[in-house]
Structure 1
């Protein structure tokens, strides 16, 4: 029997790549979008879902269960980028980012758990970020929301292990997607004390995305995880230096690591 997979944020970027790859491998794939009608050419089914709306999440999950009779894998991929000096990012934008990157995934997990528990089987993969392992300048809110999802996953997987439901994190580095176009950018404001340093850092971040890895690398990694009987807690997917930065974070003295980051971002 083909496994049924739900991917949040399946209309573009990493989510679309994962969905297409799994569809080609014979999985029954459902992606989500706030406006699925815009993607009539999608290779897999898209359902309407708004991460900020609990009713919308329940309706989408119930639709899949009524149609397929089961749900085997949840991939919490939907997320939002945000950049800017923390002092200058509006509080509403900070809350909106946490709603998408942390509270939304938690809501979807809560919606699927009763059904996976009744099946005595399931897998939940949370797409976080290598940025969630460190506080990056001008990406602090993003680092915090993704880092929080990493820690939530660590706790959650222990709570649900006895139900034969597996959970893990997959932390990508920079991938060539449209995330930069969709993220919130605090404006580079004339006369701001952060004007020069933030402007330079923003150009550097956008260049990293443009030069990022092919999203199919993430798709292949997720496929391998789904095939694994006992998945690890954390997976990091990206180029060597991005993954090695986490090793350095764990081994270097804090101030030396901070100096390294500041040099990288030309601060």
Structure 2
């Protein structure tokens, strides 16, 4: 099905397309007739299991972003939709999380998408349009215990998008966020976990919270729901600023944060994670 904008030829770039939510989005859009390009830092590991081309890209490396974008432009002549999906998970007490891991999380989850956007914008301006969809997280709407750095990276991307979309609307380019809750993917296996140290004052609370977080991901929703949500956004002529996708209670928690007093909301989170 063609995208509504007059110039578009249905070319979609999805960062982090080799597994999880990114792969689910890519496969669904291929079914719908889009020309999809995914990216991975090691595309040779995953190409045989994907129904779409995988290009090499590290969102922390500006040169690799430029090369991948130029390759798509060379093959297709345009990039109509960008889905900034590449990201890393990170857990741990902030005090005990290594500085280099904190920097790595921000480099991938915030600075990476910004680099990708800055690389595609000149091409979209020439086309006089395009759509950029940033995958954030419901965790970005609140500071979650032992996920504080992850929450911070996603919150920063949400706010950056709010400003960015106002700057680029003059060029006919639309940008939005979609914040997923817990989906059944391999993110838990791939994210950085600060080790649960025997001598750590956080040992008991962090250990139990980590087990709960992993259980939530294992019991998460089907990633295809995210793919369907992205498809609806692509089809929509006028996208909203924020979208949320996930279990009702996870989305409802955002509303509660808006209406409850701060300390009452904090107590609710403490009770949820069974923290003192």
Q: TM-score when scaled to structure 1?
A: 0.99
Q: C-alpha distance in 1, partners of 2:207/2:44?
A: 36
Give how far 1:238 is off.
Answer: 0.2
- Please say if 1:4 is aligned against 2:11: yes
Q: 1:173 aligns with which of 181, 196, 199?
A: 181
**Structure 1 residue aligned with 2:6:** none
Identify which of 12, 17, 38 aligns with 2:24: 17
| Inter-partner Cα distance in structure 2 for 1:133 and 1:3 | 31
Distance apart, 1:191 and its partner CA: 1.7
Q: Distance in 2 between matches of 1:221 and 1:163?
A: 25
Task: State which of 186, 196, 200 in structure 2 corresponds to 1:188.
Answer: 196
Shift of 1:112: 0.2
Distance 2:273 2:50 in 1: 38
Q: What residue number does 2:205 align with?
A: 197
Q: CA RMSD in A?
A: 0.6
Matched, 1:27 2:34: yes
Aligned 1:15-94 pairs, distance under 5 A = 15-39=22-46, 40-94=48-102
Equivalent-residue separation in structure 1 for 2:79 and 2:99 (angstroms): 36
1:102 aligns with 2:128: no
Determine the structure 2 residue equivalent to 1:246: 254
The Cα shift of 1:41 comes to: 2.5
Distance in 2 (alpha carbons) for counterparts of 1:159 and 1:193: 46
Which runs of structure 2 are paired with 1:102-121 in the superposition (5 Å)?
Answer: 102-121=110-129
Instruction: Give me the whole-angstrom Cα distance separating, in 1, the residues matched to 2:134 and 2:101.
Output: 22
Moved over 3 A (4+): none
By how many angstroms is 1:8 displaced?
A: 0.1
Unpaired runs of at least 5, structure 1 = none
Correspondence for 2:144 = 136
For the residue of structure 1 that corresponds to 2:49, the secondary structure is: coil
- Once the two structures are superposed, residues 12-36 of structure 1 have per-residue CA deviations (whole angstroms, 9 ceiling, x without a partner) of 0000000000000000000000111
Match of 1:230 in 2: 238
Distance in 2 between residues matched to 1:45 and 1:251, nearest whole Å? 45
CA–CA distance in 1 between the matches of 2:11 and 2:261?
45
CA deviation map 1:110-153 (0-9, x unaligned): 00000000100100000000000000000000000000000000
Aligned residue pairs total 267
* Structure 1 position 159 matched with structure 2 position 167: yes
